[in-house]
Structure 1
């Protein structure tokens, strides 16, 4: 199908080599032994050379007794200073992470503030043009955080120091704008709720803007090279999608403002409260269901992935398989059953390709995937096909009631596959252990 390969550029699909590893954590792995409760940043991005300079305060709480080391995801930034509650510490930057050895171990439950200053050119995670810059999935390359601990949700605020007259976009809403001493501006953004770190992001440039509303929520369409009329045309289906997904989730759009940034190329990725979408990932003709996936997929993540988040990479299908299925469900609603079947045919062909190569695993398999494409074939494609299978087994009423129960019960939290099974069993009144064993847990798998 036209555009099928483009689908692999989704944000969560962009999880690179780290996703190929088992989610089992070693003692010194990033995020082990503590939970982050807040990330507060003041960041100066440079559009021309794609560098950043920042000051960051990380508020964290020890979850292990006598915690002696704090480890964060590795990156290419140069750490200039680091203090914990005002006491200087040394940061060792290694391939397996950024490590801080503590002079005195932290007792379980103790909260501290880690303050860092840094600068550098991130190896990943920044894209753009000569006049604009936007982040792309790898948040912990342009800031200090823990990338793959999805279950560790944290509050987030970002003060962007930019040249006067530029527009910014980040997580949540802009809560302040002031003139900086150098004549530039500082735009402060704050997230509406805690999010996983991989969902943090920002954009800087001169953007045209168009706005719409769906109930109390505002939809904002931004673009560097498109005017307001083109933005409204390209994102015209967003409002109907919000209404459809809200109904199926049993939860209204989880954010008061949802933004979509139109950029060049094939970008298709979600952040906590917005999405970045490339012109080449969007349809060019009206009523063309083959190219209607990107807006729906990234929007659906506002519920499944962002609001309700898998606890670990082992259950990543709860983010991506559900969202891939909901893209097909939207197409069925908008274009008819043939469009739904065509979308699932794409998923089936990807899974068949993995099977032909000798690889097929349960959705919640915890082993090592040979390639990222293989992981996608299982957790995205097989996940979507399992959702379709459940829909057939349970029937329309019980299936959608189960999805609503699951989404409402875990809104704002983290989940495992067992949470999803229990919601579906409660809605249907059926014992679903056999079907979940076959598709999700693979009781016979070693």
Structure 2
């Protein structure tokens, strides 16, 4: 396993307990044995007191000790699986409000146990591993594989309504959001990414006026569509690996319009030319800020029944018909721009763990405000910042303040909340003020283009901004991100 190690500064003249001692880390870059992965960046951060101990060692000893820890972590104690591809077929039962699922997971693993997550409402009725044994628990599926190599496991299941699935009133359709383990067996950790083929079948029965007009919208590239004996089939393919919380989809009676790289699905299309123009304008602004194209070349916006909602997915966003009306009639571009921003900060650049969820949501919130500045003027931007400051004061008064990098968030449900959005956006505004526009936007471009199709944490953003500014930003990041 060829590797290159780099250790940060010597931390001279420091005593145990200093902030930087707790941030000693090593970076090991190695070529992954997994098919389709050209390289994996592994960064291990050692907190105090181990950071204090390491800071007192010589550089040579530090490298030796840390490398031993890294190699130990990479040793095949468990199966160390990477879910490389999900093939999922879902058929909604509109009468019972359940999804009937047939799923195959293809993965690479060493001998040992491999685990995936599911919610309690997902009931597996059949399972089969080609070279192993499957154990199903309430919220966990374990596969014991007998040898190293490529493997596959297949499930048939029923997924009841639960966190992450919303069935619309009057059998008007459904939408899924974020929690993939509600409608499929998956690894929901941000550190794991996979490709997907999703087939959605809209059945002819149990629907008012039949299935006519019903369409599905999903992540990635729109694939084949056909009418079969069992209903209308819609296929979506995500060819680049992404985290599973980016695999949401929706089904409703929808019209479809396309304009170049953009598609709009909506119940009532109306002034679709205006919606396309606003989307293209926001896209151009965000593309300029990011300095690169997003992972998915085509972008779809689906405006579904029900109240306002916003959910990003790979190459796609789910919103509501009311949101489309606000976009067209009130020039309310914030939600549209926020969800579009995730195509760079969330999809193209992904977080390594829930600890840095602000790198998704804080960026999307700030970028939508920055677009408002360009679209509606500086006064409109300033008003958004004042609103965020007011929300942050209230969060502090309620005792809900947390560091932006918060390692006590263990899963997506804990990570969701106002702090990553509000405090994250305000920190970016502070950096912009501190560094000035030219340096700030240069740093945003460096960070985004330099980490495309990679997983990041707060230190990656800090390094990019320090490189752009030529300044040591440790004090600012310590105060705003880590404390």
Task: Tell me the TM-score range normalised by the shorter chain.
Answer: 0.7 to 0.9
Give yes or no for the alignment of 1:305 onto 2:346: yes
Q: TM-score, normalised by structure 2?
A: 0.75
Contact in 1 for aligned 2:294/2:343 (Cα 8 Å)? yes
Give yes or no for the alignment of 1:145 onto 2:186: yes
Q: 2:475 corresponds to which residue?
A: 434
- TM-superposed CA distance for 1:101, in Å, is 5.4
Equivalent-residue separation in structure 2 for 1:179 and 1:207 (angstroms): 17
- TM-superposed CA distance for 1:413, in Å, is 1.6
Equivalent-residue separation in structure 2 for 1:435 and 1:48 (angstroms): 55
Q: Deviations over 1:303-336 (max 9, x none)?
A: 1011111111100110011111101100100111
Q: Looking at both structures, which has the greater relative contact order when contacts are Cα pairs under 8 Å and sequence separation is at least 6?
A: 1
Indicate which of 125, 128, 132 corresponds to 1:80: 125
Give yes or no for the alignment of 1:356 onto 2:397: yes
Give yes or no for the alignment of 1:47 onto 2:94: yes
* Structure with larger Rg: 2
Question: Structure 1's 91 and 374: CA in aligned 2 closer, same or farther, altered over 3 A?
Answer: closer
Contact in 2 for aligned 1:324/1:384 (Cα 8 Å)? yes
Q: Find the residue that maps to 1:100 and give its secondary structure.
A: strand
- TM-superposed CA distance for 1:38, in Å, is 1.0
Q: Find the residue that maps to 1:193 and give its secondary structure.
A: strand
Give yes or no for the alignment of 1:124 onto 2:171: no
Equivalent-residue separation in structure 2 for 1:268 and 1:142 (angstroms): 19
Q: 1:276 corresponds to which residue?
A: 318
Equivalent-residue separation in structure 2 for 1:90 and 1:152 (angstroms): 21
Q: Deviations over 1:50-95 (max 9, x none)?
A: 2111211112233xx7533524233312211112225552322x2x
Indicate which of 443, 454, 463 corresponds to 1:422: 463
Q: 1:265 corresponds to which residue?
A: 307
Q: 1:17 corresponds to which residue?
A: none
After superposition, residues 148-167 of structure 1 pair within 5 angstroms as 149-163=189-203, 165=212, 166-167=214-215
Q: 2:136 corresponds to which residue?
A: 91
Q: Structure 2: where are the runs of 5+ without partners?
A: 1-46, 48-77, 204-210
Contact in 1 for aligned 2:123/2:158 (Cα 8 Å)? yes
Q: 1:401 corresponds to which residue?
A: 442
- TM-superposed CA distance for 1:351, in Å, is 1.3
Equivalent-residue separation in structure 1 for 2:328 and 2:270 (angstroms): 15
- TM-superposed CA distance for 1:287, in Å, is 8.1
After superposition, residues 13-412 of structure 1 pair within 5 angstroms as 33-62=80-109, 67-85=112-130, 87=132, 89-92=134-137, 94=138, 97-100=139-142, 102=144, 110-127=149-166, 128-129=168-169, 130-147=171-188, 149-163=189-203, 165=212, 166-180=214-228, 182=229, 184-213=231-260, 218-224=261-267, 226=268, 228-234=269-275, 236-263=277-304, 264-281=306-323, 284=326, 288=330, 291-367=332-408, 376-412=417-453
Q: Structure 1: where are the runs of 5+ without partners?
A: 1-23, 25-30
Contact in 2 for aligned 1:282/1:292 (Cα 8 Å)? no
Equivalent-residue separation in structure 2 for 1:334 and 1:145 (angstroms): 40
- TM-superposed CA distance for 1:106, in Å, is 5.4
- TM-superposed CA distance for 1:415, in Å, is 0.5
Equivalent-residue separation in structure 1 for 2:385 and 2:339 (angstroms): 17
Q: Find the residue that maps to 1:255 and give its secondary structure.
A: coil
Question: Structure 1's 249 and 144: CA in aligned 2 closer, same or farther, altered over 3 A?
Answer: same
Q: Find the residue that maps to 1:229 and give its secondary structure.
A: coil
Q: Find the residue that maps to 1:361 and give its secondary structure.
A: coil
Paired positions, count: 395
Superposition RMSD on alpha carbons, in Å? 2.7
Question: Structure 1's 185 and 297: CA in aligned 2 closer, same or farther, altered over 3 A?
Answer: same
Contact in 2 for aligned 1:75/1:140 (Cα 8 Å)? no
